[in-house]
Structure 1
Amino acid sequence: MQIRDMWRIYSHVVLLLVVVSSTYCSAVNETKFVNTDKSKFKILSVFGHLGKSHFDVFKPLLEELARHGHEITVISYFPRTDSAKAKEPLPNYKDISLVDPKVGVYVNVVDLHQVSHSRFFLATQLLLLRSMADFACQTGLRHPLITEFLRRDEKFDVILTENFNTDCFLGFIHHFKAPYLALSSHQIMPWTNEDMGNEDNPSYIPNIFFGLTRPMDLIDRMKNAVTLLLFNAAYDYWFRPADQAIANEVFGPDLPELSEIARQSRALLVNTHNSFHGSRPQLPNVIEVGGLHIPPKVNPVPKDIAKFLDSANDEGVLYFSLGSMIKSTTMPKEKLDAILNVIESIPRKVIWKWESDESPRKMDNVMTRKWLPQFDVMNHPNIKCYLGHGGLLGLSESVYIGLPSILIPMFGDQFHNSAAVKTRGAAIVLDFNNFNEQYFRQAVDACFNDTSYRENAQRLSKAYRDRPATPLETAVWWTEYIARGNGIPYLRSEGADLPWYQLHLIDVALVLIIGFAAFIYIFFRLIKLLLSLLKGTAGSQAGKTSKRKKD
């Protein structure tokens, strides 16, 4: 073999070694941000509220946890349907169904004749929250399946339950002695912020009970601050004692104070996003997963709906839905006539969730359906405007897609959600009490023809979507993180354990005020004494001078 051939072989071997070595080093130094823990956990999820939208927010999380191999037990009024099971069997997803035909759930139950935004509206809202809490606790905790379930000797790695209008379901935390992950299907309730020690400053953070736009003026800040104090007081001294009574019956007299259990929350998953509801300080264990319910893909709509939408001209289509709880067919006649008169006169098509087989008025440009695949319909390119009530699920979908909105809030957090999107310039908000034909016609014209609303909606959509991970990925990670228990000792805010007067530095302020007052008092006493001494000295000197003159 010639020297030249040997040199060629040698150089190839050296090159190969260099490539292999560099590849190995690269693989060693590469950082992979993945969860390598393959543990399978037992997870209990408790949803005692009868509102479908509250459960629908977190349903994707529960099913995804089951896909990850975790054993999920779900207590709710919304068990998986037979069709869902046939489409995707999840043998490790177990329902404990609270469904009772005599009870029903909160679907198509709100009669719009009963909706009135009077001066006592906030008091009515508080009474509604309390009555729903009483009903949920009485019917849910006394269900025979719950009684049977509590007799079992089961162990869970983590418990998930919603923080809304009652603490009575927190008895499960004490009973099973498991870490607790709180859930919120809407902006955080003020008492939940208080329990976690999360910032809730009324000077610039609008509370969930008012539809206040940012920035707030003096009157708004006064209303915001007073309402926050009153609702927190009502929850502490009215809601919690009633919850405690029923919880003690079910979970035993040794049950600790529910307020104490509430403060044991390891983290909170909340269905908001700063682009939507505004920027605010959050604890590191308060995690925004707004849009968690939004599916990863758009499905084809039924053929009849597709044909109707496809045939729309360049003027576009209005999508009209008042959500799962409100029954559109109960709309007061004068308001319904105003809507129909405008819809009938515009050169656009309208697709409308209407809970009756019979349309309110025969119109060629309108399609009504008892149920609509909302997200899929909203994604049709011919849908140009969303007319809704400000419910967070539908509004989040419109924000995600980038649709401008016309919103008529009725109750609950709908005012707050509507105001948040209005602040972003992507929605027109109408007052239900003063709703009329002219009012509505102007809103429809602006939604379709004022390009600023669409531009702002598209801008908001980009910000809402742009995140380091999807809401579902984030929620799954945090659930598994709490179940693993590694961060549990470090997550809790010390502010949650402070009494209110220490948290707001009232004791520090009093000490400083008393100390300053004492200093001022002593200072003036010393000045007075000094002046008295100087006056006495001056008088003595004057007397001596006078005596010398006489001498």
Structure 2
Amino acid sequence: MKYIVLLALIVACESYNILVLLPYPGKSHHMVFEPLLDELTTRGHNLTVVSFFPSTKVNKNRRDVSLVEFARLNVEIVDLQTCDCTPNFLLKFIHHVQTVHSFTKASVELCEKLINSQVFEEFVKAEGNYDVILVEHFNSDCMLGLVHNYGLPSVGLMSCTLMPWTPSWIGGDDNPATFPSMMQPFTEDMTFMEMVENFIDIMFNKYWHSYYVGIKERSMLEARLGRTLPSLNEVAGNTSVVLVNTYHALNGVRVLPPSVIEVGGIHLHNRSIKPLPSDIEEWVIESRHGAILFSFGSLIKGSTMPRKQLEAILKVFARLPQRIVWKWEGDTIKNLPDNIMIKRWLPQFDILNHPNCVAFITHGGLLSLTEAVALGVPALIIPVLGDQPGNAAYAKRAGIAEVLPFSEINEYNLYAAMVKVLSPEMSARARSFSELWWDRPLSPMDTAIYYIEKTAKYGRLNMTSHARLLNKPQLLLFYNMEFIVLFVCFLSISLAIYRCCCKTKRVKVKQN
């Protein structure tokens, strides 16, 4: 009966033609979007999906355009031997500048490859009868040029927290005193020096992205399209809705226009729990004190860990009564304690859902952290790069995780952190927080679908702030203040002249 009802709903709903542009070769990003794409086709919409991860399923409502040939997939590419482990802000910032330059340079080069390829010919010519465009907002603005080329309403997709430049695109508040950068280990409650660090981080990233990425990609797009384009920031500001993979209960409160819609946990929609492989199931269920999952996700190659940190971790694990399941991509570890199982690949969500899983050691990637929160599993977060420090800070503030910087891993610090994570108090807080996190008026998926269909139905939605059209001097009332300053100067000069005249007059009176 339920299938008949579902079929009736699909037939009843209006079907839209949707173009999806996902130009980033990161697997974790695509894992957020794929359930949304599946749900859109299930509800009867027709999709053309341009991505590095074409679907292997046969679906008459979906056409995939593969970008696999244009770039290496970002899977297990981060080497922990070369990560920035210094606590010094200046050295960290220099390393950050180098990383950002390398990252953005690769993005600009990829943009040039894509827009000049035969694969993109139809999109450059604006072919296809589409109602709305879904486009990823991340480190490249390249696809925004194609959005403008079609002249269609668009919906932004973000698999991570807000980038430093996103609020200014849509007229949101990006005050560094209250808006912590995703790349800093801060929440809104910052000390003065943390605010200074945050200010430097946000200003650098905003202007680097605007001038290095925005201007270069705009120039390439204009050459390819044969016409002048507006600023890509302006195109981004015309986005009807931005769907962000966050939820304020975990990721903090932001002062933003209604165009920013939080859909944190959308990748868990209708996620089925699969039985664990027999060897892992046996290992986990037979552990009398529970099991701990240890994984650094899909981007970081955990087996590149420096010997200093590796030895500390092995010593601590040997002291714990729990069994550990560890995602390790290399060869067998020498002198591996008896309570550790290593696997090149792990069904992370299924292990976290196991009733005998008592803790999660993670890098703090948003997908991994979201899964731990959704399933009520306390975590030890060892942030390495990107948004992981910020994610970790908010999880710690919620009382559901401990944070240990990679540079501070030693036997004492790691053991002390694990004792806290494994405590009954933190376990209870994690379960309680999970209930709060799930308790929403609509599911993340239903929320996302609603706004996509609304944009397709009505065209561009006026949900962003007018502040996006003003520059900083205008936002700070400098044009109005100019009159005030001139008026104050005039009064001051007039008063000074008056006093001077009065003084001169008094002197003459005395002389007489």
Please report the TM-score for the alignment, with normalisation by the length of structure 1: 0.84
Instruction: Specify the alignment match of 1:289 in structure 2.
Output: 263
Per the alignment, in what secondary structure is the counterpart of residue 209 of structure 1? coil
2:80 pairs with one of 97, 109, 112: 112
Structure 1 Cα separation of the partners of residues 464 and 186 of structure 2: 30
Shift of 1:214: 4.0
Aligned twin of 1:25: none
Paired residues of 2:171 and 2:256 also in contact (CA < 8 A): no
Confirm or deny: 8 A CA contact 1:67 1:90 kept in the other structure.
Answer: no
Does 2:63 match 1:94?
yes
The answer for the alignment partner of 2:480 in structure 1 is 508
2:360 match: 386
Name the structure 2 match of 1:41.
16
Q: C-alpha distance in 2, partners of 1:51/1:414?
A: 16
State how far apart, in whole Å, the 1-side matches of 2:194 and 2:272 are: 40
* 8 A Cα contact 1:403 1:458, kept in partner: yes
Letter in 2 for 1:60: P
Alignment-derived partner of residue 348 in structure 2? 374
Amino acid at match of 2:38: E
Give yes or no for contact 2:177–2:188 (8 Å, CA) kept in 1.
no
Counterpart secondary structure, 2:468: helix
- SS of structure 2 residue aligned to 1:490: coil
Where 2:175 maps in the other structure, the secondary structure is coil
Paired residues of 2:10 and 2:43 also in contact (CA < 8 A): no
Counterpart of 2:320 in structure 1 is 346
Q: Contact (CA 8 Å) 2:240, 2:462: kept in 1 or not? A: no
The residue aligned with 1:476 is: 449
Say if 2:177 is the partner of 1:203: yes
Name the CA shift for 1:95/1:35 in 2 (closer, same or farther; >3 Å): closer
Asked if 1 retains the 8 angstrom alpha-carbon contact of 2:47 and 2:63, the reply is yes
Residues 358 and 274 of structure 1: CA distance in aligned 2, closer, same or farther (over 3 Å): same
Give the partner amino acid of 1:126: V
Say which SS state the counterpart of residue 375 (structure 1) adopts. Answer: helix
Look up the SS of the partner of 1:458 in the other structure: helix
Q: How far apart are 1:194 and its partner, in Å?
A: 1.0
The DSSP-based 3-state class of the residue aligned with 2:267 is coil
Name the structure 1 match of 2:494.
522
Please name the residue that 1:58 is paired with: 33
User: Which residue number corresponds to residue 279 of structure 1?
Assistant: 253
Q: CA deviation at 1:539?
A: 6.4
Deviations 1:157-182 (A, max 9, x none): 11111111111111211222211111
Alpha-carbon distance in structure 1 between the residues aligned to 2:257 and 2:502: 55
Secondary structure class of the residue paired with 1:75:
strand
State the AA in 2 paired with 1:167: D
SS of match in other structure, 1:473: helix
Q: Does the 8 A contact of 1:298 with 1:375 survive in 2? A: no
Task: Give the Cα separation in 1 of the matches to 2:290 and 2:223.
Answer: 57
Instruction: Using the TM superposition, give the Cα deviation of residue 281 of structure 1 relative to its aligned residue in structure 2, in angstroms.
Output: 1.3
Gaps of at least 5 residues in structure 2 are 1-8
Does the 8 Å contact 2:26/2:73 carry over to 1? yes
CA distance in 1, matches of 2:160, 2:388: 10
CA contact (8 A) 1:316 1:348 kept: yes
1:125–1:412: 8 Å Cα contact kept in structure 2? no
Is the 1:213–1:422 Cα contact (8 Å) retained in structure 2?
no
Q: Within 5 Å, give how 1:356-367 maps onto structure 2.
A: 356=330, 358-359=332-333, 361-367=335-341
Q: 1:419 aligns with which of 377, 385, 393?
A: 393
1:466 aligns with 2:439: yes
SS of equivalent residue, structure 2 residue 234: helix
Take 2:337 and 2:473, find their aligned partners in 1: how far apart are those partners?
Answer: 62
Are 1:177 and 2:151 counterparts? yes
Q: Secondary structure at the match of 1:90?
A: coil
Amino acid at match of 1:512: I
1:502 deviation in Å?
0.3
Question: Larger deviation: 215-224 or 459-468?
Answer: 459-468
User: Displacement, 1:418?
Assistant: 0.8
Q: CA deviation at 1:530?
A: 5.5
Check conservation: 2:167, 2:256, Cα contact below 8 A: no
Measure the CA separation in 1 of the matches of 2:271 and 2:127.
Answer: 41
Q: Percent identity?
A: 32
Secondary structure at the counterpart of residue 201 of structure 1: coil
The structure with the largest alpha-carbon Rg is: 1
* Residue of structure 2 in register with 1:493 after alignment: 465
* Selected match of 1:218 from 178, 186, 192: 192
C-alpha distance after superposition, 1:131-153 (max 9, x if no partner): 34134314433443223554573
Could you tell me which residue of structure 2 aligns to residue 9 of structure 1? none
Backbone CA RMSD of aligned residues: 2.5
> How far apart are the structure 1 equivalents of 2:277 and 2:104?
44
The offset of 1:202, in angstroms, is 1.1
Query: How many angstroms apart in 2 are the aligned matches of 1:269 and 1:295?
Result: 15
The whole-number CA distance in structure 1 between the counterparts of 2:224 and 2:85 is: 37
Q: Determine the C-alpha separation between the residues in 2 that align with 1:388 and 1:414.
A: 10
Structure 1 503/251 Cα, relative in aligned 2: closer, same or farther at 3 Å?
same
Cα 1:36/1:520, change in 2 over 3 Å: farther
Shift of 1:200: 1.2
Q: How does 1:259-270 map to 2 (within 5 A)?
A: 259-270=233-244
Distance 2:231 2:259 in 1: 23
The residue type equivalent to 2:68 in the other structure is V
Asked whether the equivalents of residues 422 and 429 of structure 1 are also in contact (C-alpha less than 8 Å), the reply is yes
**Cα distance in 2 between the residues matched to 1:249 and 1:356:** 46
Structure 1 spans left out of the alignment, 5+ residues: 1-33, 544-551
Say whether residues 1:456 and 2:429 are aligned partners. Answer: yes
| Residue 362 to residue 222, structure 1, CA distance change in 2 (3 Å) | closer
1:161 and 2:135 correspond = yes
Determine the C-alpha separation between the residues in 1 that align with 2:126 and 2:504.
84
Amino acid at match of 2:490: A
* Cα pair distance change 1:530/1:463, threshold 3 Å: farther
Deviation at 1:104, TM superposition (A): 2.9
Q: CA deviation at 1:508?
A: 2.5
CA deviation string 1:73-123 (max 9, x = no partner): 110001112xxx2xxx431011101112x8430011111111123412321
CA distance in 2, matches of 1:470, 1:491: 21
Paired amino acid for 1:345: R
**Structure 2 CA distance, aligned partners of 1:498 and 1:523?**
36
Which secondary structure does the structure 2 equivalent of 1:445 belong to?
helix
8 Å CA contact retained: 1:309, 1:317: yes
Q: 1:402 to 1:35 in 2, by over 3 A?
A: same
Shift of 1:391: 0.5
**CA 1:169–1:66: 2 relative to 1, 3 Å:** same
TM-score (norm. length: structure 2): 0.90
Conserved 8 A contact 2:22-2:50? yes
Given residue 462 of structure 1, which amino acid in structure 2 is its aligned partner? E
1:14 alignment counterpart: none
